Amino acid sequence: MIKSSTFSVDSNRISRPWSRIRFSFLLLMTDPNIIPEPAENPNTDDYRRVPIPPQRRAALRNNFPQIVQPIVQHLKLNIRYNTSLNCVELKTSPETTNPNAMTKATDFVQAFVNGFDVNDALALIRLDDIFMDEFSVTDVKTLSGDNLSRAVGRIAGKGGQIKYAIENATRTRIAMNDQRIHLIGTVNNIRMAKRVICDLVMGSPANKIYAKLRNFQAWQKRQG
């Protein structure tokens, strides 16, 4: 069983209210008698921290049980939210057997922080060929002020139509956080989505973008 002597969220506590989830990290640092038990598998002795920015803390509060469940039950990791440092902390347990569990959990939480829905971010845990990538609009072209705002708006399109078209054609998910673009998908699909987004930033008209997406979909069908 995953122990929670220092990480006080386990599979039996994921449904408790946010206000009752309190952690003993500071006590652990000050009391030498509280020592985490070593992991039986040396490959799983790991600990990581994911900072939560202010604009995502309310969303984390509302979705915390859905975030905890796959990390505890599927990856066999311990997780807690540190209210003092405003970060999610992850730690391996003796039951952790997947050597990629910590990386998957960290990417999953970071994807949620970047703006993805929990269900979309879950693909990072469930599928081995799904990855997350990000870049900035200014990495493609030096822009500022209104020009930067227009470039970001072109990526989304009216009512988000272009963004949804890119997601559907490339089988990716896209989250936009100011000028930073985050993508989830396979390597090839992310590469295509980034290429299309870069074309939009450089000023390509929407009709050319849709044509390129149709060609990519046709290529995918031929590949089976």
Q: Which domains does the chain have, with CATH numbers?
A: 42-120 (3.30.1370.10), 129-223 (3.30.1370.10)
CA geometry: angle 32, 50, 178, nearest 5 deg: 155
Residue 154 scores a pLDDT above 80: yes
**What value does the mean pLDDT take over residues 127-145?**
91
Q: Which residue from 104, 96, 80 is spatially nearest to 42, judged by alpha carbons?
A: 96
Give residue 174's pLDDT band: very low, low, confident or very high (50, 70, 90): very high
Give residue 23's pLDDT band: very low, low, confident or very high (50, 70, 90): very low
Digit-coded pLDDT (tens) for 35-74: 344 334 434 468 999 999 999 999 999 999 999 999 999 9
Percent of the chain with pLDDT over 70: 79
